[in-house]
Amino acid sequence: MDKTQFMFWFLSALAVFSSLMVITRKNPVYSVLFLIITFFAISGHYVLMNAQFLAIVNIIVYAGAIMVLFLFVLMLMNLNKESEQQKNKYLLWSGAIAGGMLMVIMIAALNTTEPAVISQPGAGQIGLIKNLGTKLFTEYVVPFEISSILFLSAMVGAVVLGKKGD
Amino acid sequence: MPITYYIFLAVIIFCIGVTGVLTRRNSIIVFMCIELMLNAVNLLLVAFSKMHHQRMLVLDAANVTAGTESQLFVFFIMVVAAAEVSVGLAIIVMMYRAVHSVDINFLNRLKN
């Protein structure tokens, strides 16, 4: 087992464990913290697959910006005291069984006997900023500009929704 | 690393997210599970991009940018997720101000 394989299994186990923790913790603040660990593990996977730019963006945008937003909202609401009421046990079990069934069926459907192999995960240079930026600002410049309009409308929408009074 | 390992990892994380959406009652945690599902899909897109890149390199060694498109898709998914989170959290805060709870059982009607 070489270094890359070891890192793959370690990061996979970390991602699965912490995402399980996200959905099982009672305290929402712990859920947010475990979700940050999940995002770091997924960023590690990006680095292993030579997508360095996406790894950095993932850490900055998700773990840095979005999770801080979640944490702010949670702490503003002060939900730590009241634990959420579970309506009935059957609802919980049916949800868990439905999710597990989906997982089993998708894994069984996608399990091919002769898989394609990513032989040299560290080689290549697709993830470098130069290649991504050239592609982004030549072929994909229209979606890029449209996404700036999306951000503007999201900003206006958040301000309008969050304004006190009507 | 066989591509099926990445597919299984992404499927497992995605299904954990689905289970969280189905079982949890706190709307913020439901929202976080949606982020988890988005990230599973991103991981799979990057893995497929890497695989496509290697296939194309065998055919044409000079084509170093093959497979860059799916990484750009991941980039755009992150952009949309950031916009979605800001609006969604604003809606949750507004709802909390109205009913003093984020339990989704109270949120099954749009009026009041």
Pair of tokens at residue B43: 């991981």
A112 with B4: Cβ contact below 8 A:
yes
Domains identified in chain B, total number: 1
CATH number of the domain bearing residue B53: 1.10.287.3510
Contact with chain B for residue A7, Cβ under 8 A: no
- Residue with more model confidence, A92 or A39: A39
ipTM score of complex = 0.90
Mutation site for B-interface testing, chosen from A84, A92, A113 by largest number of B Cβ within 10 Å: A84
In a domain, B63, yes or no: yes
CA dist B2 and B7 (Å) reads 9
Pair of tokens at residue A139: 């072929």
In a domain, A45, yes or no: yes
Q: What are phi and psi of A54, to 5 degrees?
A: -65, -35
Q: What are phi and psi of B26, to 5 degrees?
A: -80, 125
Domain of A158, in residue numbers: 128-166
CA atoms lying within 13 Å on the CB side of residue B66: 16
In a domain, A132, yes or no: yes
In a domain, B21, yes or no: yes
Find residues 93-112 of chain B whose CB sits inside 8 Å of chain A: 93-94, 96, 102-103, 105
- Helical pair A3-24 and B27-59, crossing angle rounded to 10 deg: 160
In a domain, A113, yes or no: no
Domains identified in chain A, total number: 2
CA dist B33 and A21 (Å) reads 11
| Closest to B7 in 3D by CA, of B37, B47, B36 | B47
In a domain, B69, yes or no: yes
Segment A86-93 mean pLDDT = 77
Each residue's pLDDT tens digit, B11-26: 999 999 999 999 988 8
Pair of tokens at residue B21: 């959406």
Each residue's pLDDT tens digit, A127-160: 788 888 888 899 899 999 999 999 999 999 988 8
**Nearest CB to B28: which of A12, A28, A126?**
A28
Find residues 57-96 of chain B whose CB sits inside 8 Å of chain A: 57, 64-69, 71-72, 74-76, 78-87, 89-94, 96
